[in-house]
Amino acid sequence: MEWRAGNRSVGEKLFDVFNYILLTVITLCTLYPLIYVLFASLSNPTRYMQHSGILWKPLDITFNAYRLVFDNPMIIQGYLNTFLIVSGGLAINIILTAFGAYALSRKGLRYRKQLMLFIVFTMFFSGGLIPLYFTVKGLELTNTLWSLIIPQAISAFNLIIMRTAFEAVPDSLEESAKIDGANEFVILFRIMIPLCMPVIAVMLLYYGVSHWNSWFQAMIYLQDRSLYPLQLVLRELLLLNDASSMASGASGGEVAVIGETLKHATIIVATVPILLVYPFLQKYFVKGALIGAIKG
């Protein structure tokens, strides 16, 4: 870019130096907690327990903790459940959001405005946690994975984003498709969605991350532990100090020691997938955040 060192005063140079240092510090502060967890997960548990202060490197590298994580049936089952929730949830999310967004983006539709208001209103007012709980319970969805999918089938916010994208597609494309005998389903799946792929990608990202990270619904709707998604298993392990149930194979006093590094290994195992996909999605989520911002 325009890097004209000659033109700059001492003050500006000083500012630049300060700015680079400050930004580096902020970046390191953001990154270090994760690095610390990574190092801790690779450390020998006993040495880690004795250690205090900043970790600069793993202490006696060992992959034992990871072996325990992958031997643990709760975590494996949690992964599996999360996988089912994310994949099933995404399919329903995308189809229903696209249906609503497409229908409401058609200018010929009667009561379009009223229907839109019907949906937008839910963003600002809700009946609250308890009535929703009874609704889900009344539909007998509790204690099934459906309780984590169906009640979150559509986000009004995402529907608005998608509708904006569909509205931007020129009407002439739709008209010529209609002349060729296409019905609305064909137009939606063969024209609209392929043309709006970047927005679909944003939707996949938003819905996917929210399914992957959700635990609260699972906590209130699920009793059966074999249905627990990964995040709920993590909560027991990380926040309720229930390491004993996790370190299967270890006995008595070992549990506390192994539990320490096991926690860290689990954090890494649970976080890596999302951190792996996110650099690839970065261009999309910037776009998504911006579309979202325009619409409030």
For other proteins, the binding residues in 179-198 under the rule CB under 8 A are 183-185, 188
- Cα separation of the two ends of the chain: 33
Stretch that binds other proteins, among 72-80, 98-106, 168-176, 196-204 (CB under 8 A): 98-106
Asked if residues 254 and 282 have their Cβ atoms less than 8 Å apart, the reply is no
Q: What distance in Å separates the CA atoms of residue 193 and residue 213, rounded to the nearest whole number?
A: 26
- Min CB(185)–other proteins separation in Å: 6
Return the number of the residue (240 or 251) whose C-beta is nearest other proteins.
240
- Min CB(170)–other proteins separation in Å: 18
- Min CB(264)–other proteins separation in Å: 8
Return the number of the residue (24 or 176) whose C-beta is nearest other proteins.
24
The number of residues making up the chain comes to 296
Burial group, residue 250, by CB count within 10 angstroms (0-12, 13-18, 19+): middle
**Residues 10-49 contacting other proteins, CB under 8 A:** 11-12, 15-16, 19-20, 22-24, 26-27, 29-31, 33-34, 36-37
**Residues 60-89 contacting other proteins, CB under 8 A:** none
| DSSP state, residue 147 | G
C-alpha closest to that of 48 among 65, 33, 31, 34: 65
Return the number of the residue (44 or 269) whose C-beta is nearest other proteins.
269
Stretch that binds other proteins, among 61-69, 167-175, 193-201, 227-235 (CB under 8 A): 227-235
Q: What distance in Å separates the CA atoms of residue 131 and residue 210, rounded to the nearest whole number?
A: 22
Q: Which residue has the tokens 């004795």?
A: 50
Q: Does 91 bind other proteins (CB under 8 A)?
A: no
- Min CB(65)–other proteins separation in Å: 14
User: DSSP of 238-280, one letter per residue?
Assistant: HTS--HHHH-TT--THHHHHHHHHHHHHHHHHHHHHHHHHHHH
Q: Does 239 bind other proteins (CB under 8 A)?
A: yes
Amino acid letter, 242: D
- Min CB(125)–other proteins separation in Å: 5
